[in-house]
Structure 1
Amino acid sequence: MENFVDWLNGIVWSSALVYLFLGVGLFYSIATRFLQVRLLKDMLKLTFNRDRSKAGVSSFQAFSMSLGSRVGTGNIAGVATAIAFGGPGAVFWMWVMALLGGATSFIEITMTQVYKRKLDGQYRGGVPYYIEKGLKIKWYAVVFALITLIVMGVLWPGLQANTIAISMENAFGIEPLITGGMLVVILGIIIFGGVKRIAKAAEIVVPVMAIIYIVMCLIILLINITELPSVVSLIFSSAFGTNAAFGGLVGSAIALGVQRGAFSNAAGIGSETYDAGAAEVSHPAKQGLVQAFSVYIDTLLICSATAFMILFTGMYNVMPAGGEAIVNNVPGSSPSAYTQMAIGSVMPGFGAAFLAIALFFFCFTTVMSYYYKAETCLVFLNRNRAVKLKWPTHVLKIVLLGMIFYGSVVSAEFAWALGDLGMGSMAWLNFVAILFLTKPALKVLRDYEKQKNEGKDPVFDAEKLGFEDAEFWIGQYEEPMGDELDIKKAEVF
């Protein structure tokens, strides 16, 4: 089984996909005149908007749900893996992925908002929805929904559980079987509570856990501040092959940096479109900007913090695939342990325990988001039935919980292989879709900026802009006024 998955990954993750991530990001950056830089002020303002309705969640909650799915294994074990096999230069290419990925994320999220729908009393959106209405290719939409359902319900949850189980065993000696059982119980309680409970839990937990982790990273940065110039120099010299030791790893640095950067911030994969579809906004571009900002938080802030901790303390190895170790600072150690060792080297007796707890929260909120995305795909597949089928949702919950338990006991290598296979499969399909939707996405951006320049709070008029299939926006959106707005702001879950 492992050999088969590795063979599939060799096809899916060819160099073509690596350069597609970079190429599409650069294309959209130029096409939008680098909105990820120009409109940074708007991103900050819109991110903390908390207005919502009974059918939707606020921009901040959608941001928290999305960030909760992005901040997890990729930010800690993923960064360590990139350094282990691609050298310090991989960190630079993760930064490039974040900068370019902000524009890609804007496009896919904006299209999600344009073509979202209100189903069963809740806002739903995502790649299948904009493929069906924007491209008018129903079979392609169904294929993407099925692939996402498999990835979110089967392939990715096990990777997060595996990371938690390994960290708990290293820190506290807890057997993976016990950790897996604990995760199944806690997650089961939450996912049976519905999307509103997921949104509320993410809104509370994600900011707190991210802040605590960043504070810990800053402490280590300050302790090792004199090493900053040499570490930054090491990253850049390794990225471009001017460092003699890592000169032969430029290709691996690019590949690993892009791959792990993509897994971390998910720009272009389509996995973050489902959270964004639940957001309550007056204009699609608003949520597009919010999600673009979350790419920065995820990679430029959290991934960078992890990378600097590892590189500052020297707690890493660099092992080219099929070759001898170039750096062997911690002989025999798994990349997943590098961050724990880095913190432990500065704060003995504390690092392993702290990171185990941090990983628990990071990965746990990620799995909560996976369930919501899988559920949204089920709603899409079930949308045209006169009698809605309930059993698929129950099966999804059971399968996901089963994969959580299974993932906690399999090898880390196999868990990562499954995760990479799911990510690559979604990326190929989503890139085709968004590239064909470039023109309408840019039209929405121009409308947003035009209204902003006129001093207005942008409101989307789908009919005026020619979006005939944007059903939600045609006669659906009404700006709340007076007491109605006060009531909406007072609503709680």
Structure 2
Amino acid sequence: MQFFDSLFSYVNDLTWGWALVPFLVVFGVFFTVASGFIQFRFFKRMFGVLWGDEDGDPSKISAREALFVSVGGRVGGGNIAGVAVAITAGGPGAVFWMWAIALIGMCSGLIEATLAQVFKRTTPEGDYRGGPARAIIHGLGENYRWLAIIYAVCLIASFAIGFNAFQGNTVAGAAADSLGIPRYATGILLAAATGFIVYGGIHRIAKASDIIIPIMAFGYIAMALVIILMNITALPGVIWEIVANAVGLREAVAGGVGAAVANGLRRGLFSNEAGLGSAPNVAATAYVRHPVSQGITQSFSVFIDTMIICSCTAFVILLGDVYQPGQTDVDGVILTQQSMVSHVGSWAQYYLTAAIFLFSFSSIIYNYYLGENALAFMTETPSAVHILRIVIVAIVFIGAVAPGATAVFNFSDPMMGILAVVNLLAMMMLFPVALRLINDFRKQLASGIKRPIFDPKKFPDLDTDETAWPDAK
């Protein structure tokens, strides 16, 4: 076990330790400039998905459903605990750099989702499957299958197995601390709910997310807005603290600007997952008229995760008096919980427990689908999917009832690091394809077409599935 701990620690240092975060930032800036700042140009268009602008075949997964599934995956413990950790380690300035990486990451999310869409395949059931693994195979060729397999294995190991154990642990811990509910009871409930959803396939996952995510997001935002309004006179001062600490006008923690930048960028990337190669798997399931349409939608999910949800947590903490600059030994969830209690009273801890349950459960079903999609890429054996579902339900239960056992899943972060490296390589090699699609989308808009349509025949050199684009006919 010591050998594996050392190995995973070494891989984690090679990826997240010094190389990966700068690469994600640099590539995100490159994508933004090379695409003509597309995430800002189409910002207004992002909101159309909420009103059903891309709705079509009711038997398919809609763009809005795919958006909510991906938001459910991006929004999780990182939005509650991760933001608190970033503030304690990097000071209020870390929030500014979380915002900055989100604005850049919106473009990375758009590019990876666009590529997942254009190379998606129609399943025998009439659904769509895609993601970075299939984009590698159909975009770069069979010679790169080995790279796609590495990606698929890391996706299963990190999200489907490792992160689901931690999600189960987070929910059970919050329920035990605030409500006194035994861990095994929470574990049984969570495992049963997980089994019910995952055995319904992507359609049940999408329908569940279409209900859970709006309740989860709007409920948490509403609480934060109440707290902000209660402290509205202090808001300008908090915003000044965030900016001043971010640029070095004031230091809140040891390390100054360096600590703010490092913690803000890292926690922002962990939270919104832009460029990490996870969300494109869900983006590919949606029925849309043009790949860039879903790219714009997924860019919106990055905005929701960081610019809205993470900001809510940040203001709840910084508008209160629980957080003290220089504190480094405070648990993230506890800091957020105590800050909320200081604003509105002790009942807030129960409210936050419910929020954590919804955040974590939405992440669990999202993580499961990522694993199922990766497994479907490697094998078409039906029994493999059933085995994965049983394993996921068991992992969620184990994570809930045995908090110490989650240490076994410390391979999650290094596996996600490898996953991100593979995804970034594929994105860079396929970026010219994404740029062609973006230009096609813009050209149609300029010609007066309000809802651009992708026609595979206009891109004969691309290995696309014409059955996945019925509107072209």
TM-score (norm 2): 0.93
Deviations 1:134-159 (A, max 9, x none): 11111111111111111222111112
How far apart are 1:254 and its partner, in Å?
A: 2.0
Report if the CA contact (8 A) 1:88-1:235 is conserved: yes
Q: Quick one: structure 1 residues 406 and 249, their matched pair in 2 at CA, closer, same or farther if it must change by over 3 Å?
A: farther
* Counterpart among 249, 253, 256 of residue 246 in structure 1: 253
Q: Distance in 2 between matches of 1:422 and 1:178?
A: 31
For residues 403 and 437 of structure 1, do their structure 2 counterparts lie closer, same or farther at Cα, with a shift above 3 Å needed?
same
- CA distances 1:244-297 after superposition (whole Å, capped 9, x unpaired): 343624323222212211121111001001111110011100000000011111
Alignment partner, residue 236 of structure 1: 243
> Does 1:275 pair with 2:282?
yes
Distance 1:340 1:175 in 2: 20
Q: 1:100 aligns to what?
A: 104
The answer to which of 124-133 and 169-178 deviates more is 169-178
Match of 1:221 among 228, 242, 246: 228
Residue aligning to 1:117: 121
Structure 1 pair 286–467 and aligned structure 2 pair: CA distance change class (3 A): farther
Partner in structure 2 of residue 185 of structure 1 = 192
1:376 is aligned, of 367, 373, 377, to: 373
Shift of 1:475: 5.7
2:210 to 191, 203, 208: 203
Q: 1:239 to 1:153 in 2, by over 3 A?
A: same
The correspondence for 1:445, drawn from 420, 429, 438, is: 438
- Please tell me whether the aligned partners of residues 316 and 335 of structure 1 are also in contact (alpha carbons under 8 angstroms): no
Contact kept, 8 Å, 1:407 with 1:415, in 2: the verdict is: no
Partner AA of 2:134 in structure 1:
Y
State the distance in 1 between where 2:376 and 2:202 align: 13
Q: Distance in 2 between matches of 1:455 and 1:296?
A: 28
Q: Quick one: which amino acid aligns to residue 35 of structure 1?
A: I
Q: Deviations over 1:425-471 (max 9, x none)?
A: 2111111110111111000000001001111121112221344301x
Distance in 2 (CA, whole Å) between partners of 1:231 and 1:34 is 29
Look up the match of 1:141: 148
The structure-2 alpha-carbon separation of the partners of 1:109 and 1:244, relative to structure 1 and needing over 3 Å to count, comes to closer
Contact 1:263 1:423 in 2 (8 A): no
Aligned: 1:454 with 2:457:
no
* SS of the residue 1:246 aligns to: coil
Whether contact under 8 Å (1:15, 1:255) holds in the other structure is no
Closer/same/farther in 2, CA of residues 203 and 245 from structure 1, 3 Å limit: closer
2:48 is matched with: 45
Q: Select the residue among 415, 418, 421 that pairs with 2:414.
A: 421
**Alpha-carbon offset, residue 223 of structure 1:** 0.9
Residue 370 of structure 1 aligns with an amino acid whose one-letter code is N
| Distance in 2 between residues matched to 1:141 and 1:245, nearest whole Å | 44
Quick check: 2:113–2:294 contact (8 Å CA) kept in 1? Answer: yes
Distance 1:266 1:416 in 2: 19
Distance 1:86 1:282 in 2: 43
Residue 367 of structure 1 and its aligned partner are, at CA, apart by: 0.7
Aligned pair partner of 1:395 in 387, 390, 399: 387
5+ residue gaps in structure 1?
A: 319-325, 383-387, 482-493
Would the aligned equivalents of 1:47 and 1:63 in 2 still touch at CA under 8 Å? Answer: no
Which amino acid is the alignment partner of residue 435 of structure 1? M
SS in structure 2 at match of 1:109 = helix
Tell me, yes or no, if the aligned pair for 1:158 and 1:415 is still in contact at 8 Å: no
C-alpha contact 1:90 1:256 (8 A) present in aligned 2:
yes
- Cα deviation for residue 415 of structure 1 reads 8.5
Unmatched runs of 5 consecutive residues or more in structure 2? none
The verdict on how the C-alpha distance between 1:32 and 1:432 changes in structure 2, with shifts beyond 3 A counting, is same
Moved more, 398-407 or 115-124: 398-407
What amino acid maps onto 2:376 in structure 1?
Answer: V
Matched pairs, number = 464
Counting only pairs closer than 5 Å after superposition, residues 250-329 of structure 1 correspond to structure 2 as 250-316=257-323, 326-327=326-327
Identical amino acids, percent of aligned pairs: 38
Q: What is the rounded CA distance, in whole Å, between the counterparts of 2:324 and 2:434 in structure 1?
A: 43
Structure-2 separation of matches of 1:476 and 1:105? 21
Which secondary structure state, in structure 1, belongs to the residue aligned with residue 453 of structure 2? coil
CA distance in 2, matches of 1:414, 1:448: 46
Q: Which residue of 2 aligns with 1:484?
A: none
Cα 1:125–1:475, aligned 2, differ >3 Å: closer, same or farther? closer
1:333 offset after TM fit, Å?
3.9
- Judged with a 3 Å threshold, the aligned counterparts in structure 2 of structure 1 residues 46 and 333 are, in CA distance, closer, same or farther, namely closer
For residues 240 and 397 of structure 1, the distance between their equivalents in structure 2, rounded to whole angstroms, comes to 47
Deviations 1:139-197 (CA, angstroms, capped at 9, x unpaired): 11111111111122211111212221221122101232322222111111111111111
Cα pair 1:156 1:418 within 8 Å, conserved: no
Go from structure 1 to structure 2 and tell me whether the alpha carbon gap of 1:177 and 1:7 turns closer, same or farther (over 3 Å shift).
farther
Instruction: Find the aligned partners of 1:360 and 1:21 in 2 and give their Cα distance.
Output: 30
Conserved? CA contact 2:139–2:430, under 8 Å: yes
What SS does structure 2 have at the residue aligned with 1:313?
Answer: coil
1:463 aligns with 2:457: yes
Identify which of 79, 83, 98 aligns with 1:79: 83
CA–CA distance in structure 2, aligned partners of residues 339 and 425 of structure 1: 31
RMSD between superposed Cα atoms in Å: 2.1
2:354 to 354, 357, 378: 357
